[in-house]
Amino acid sequence: MCWLCDAKSSLSASAGVHDEPGAGRWSPRRGFLLAGAAAATGLVSATAQAQVDVGEASALRNLVPAEELEGAARQQYGEMLEQARAKGALAPEQHPQLQRLRQIARRLIPFTAPWNSRSRSWQWEVNLIGNSQVNAFCMPGGKICFYTGILDKLKLGDDEVAMVMGHEMAHALREHARERLAKTQATSLGLSLGARLLGLGELGNVAADLGTQLLALKYSRDDETEADLVGLELGARGAYNPQASVSLWRKMMAANGRGGPGFLSTHPSGPNRIQELQDNLPRVRQLYEQARG
């Protein structure tokens, strides 16, 4: 579903497979919702104008009803967690890495609404699965999941984790999956934007039927760049050092050189991506300093 893994087409089958040492000792537990996280932490949504420039979200996404796609995402996310729980790969409530992820999410979520007003009603959820893949994602509707592989193999600090999480949240906020599905289905069904109203109902049904494909979607280069920049700003507003986006990508490039994730072949190259982030650091640096207080 994103730049962190080039094998998403097999994710549903492997989500419950834990190959990290000790992952099988994780006991069953309940899901965790971050609904109302902003109120719980006493934070409010950002009101200042966005500092990064990513333009308007694509109108093509309107071909797929957001409610139906988010419903499909909730169902798939729940099934994935159940598979992981059954195999002892779902981190328990007290797991320190899971608590760390949830704390970072609490600091980012209050700043999501300006990017997508629908996110105010999302039931944000964060979970950790024991799996050696270098991967993390956020499904439509705010369903976040990290694999232990990305935390352990890259030895990410909190600022770097926030940059990963912000990037993945940005995909959901900018509704890239909705846009990808709309383009795919509009093409296959021979629909055009001019016939949008005529085909809307059929596309909505297709979106629900394709819920199982959400994690297999491949985002475009523009989608990835947009998620990088929105994630950069989310992290800065949450008081996480935006400079960590550069160190994160250097780690990702090094991992790729060691036979790690192969996403660089289909996504923006590491150096170009780092340069884009560096060019935007001045835009968000003051947000970071202000957030630090």
Largest CA distance in the chain: 55
Q: Which helix (H) or strand (E) holds 272?
A: helix 270-292
Please give the C-alpha separations between residue 12 and each of 26, 185, 252, in angstroms, as whole numbers.
20, 21, 23
Helix (H) or strand (E) holding 88: none
Counting Cβ atoms within 10 Å, is residue 283 exposed (0-12), middle (13-18) or buried (19+)? middle
Q: What is the SS3 assignment for 146?
A: strand
- Dump strand ranges (E) for 140-238: 143-147
Q: Is 168 a known active-site residue?
A: yes
Q: How far is CA 177 from CA 90, 145, 237, 272, in A?
A: 25, 16, 25, 24
* CA atoms within 13 A of residue 122's CA, in its CB half-sphere: 30
The single residue of 20, 160, 168, 224 carrying the catalytic annotation is: 168
For residue 120, which of 108, 132, 104, 109 has the smallest C-alpha distance? 109
Helix (H), strand (E) counts: the chain: 11, 3
By DSSP bridging, strand 125-129 and strand 143-147 are parallel
Cβ–Cβ under 8 Å, residues 147 and 129: yes
Which residues are designated catalytic?
168
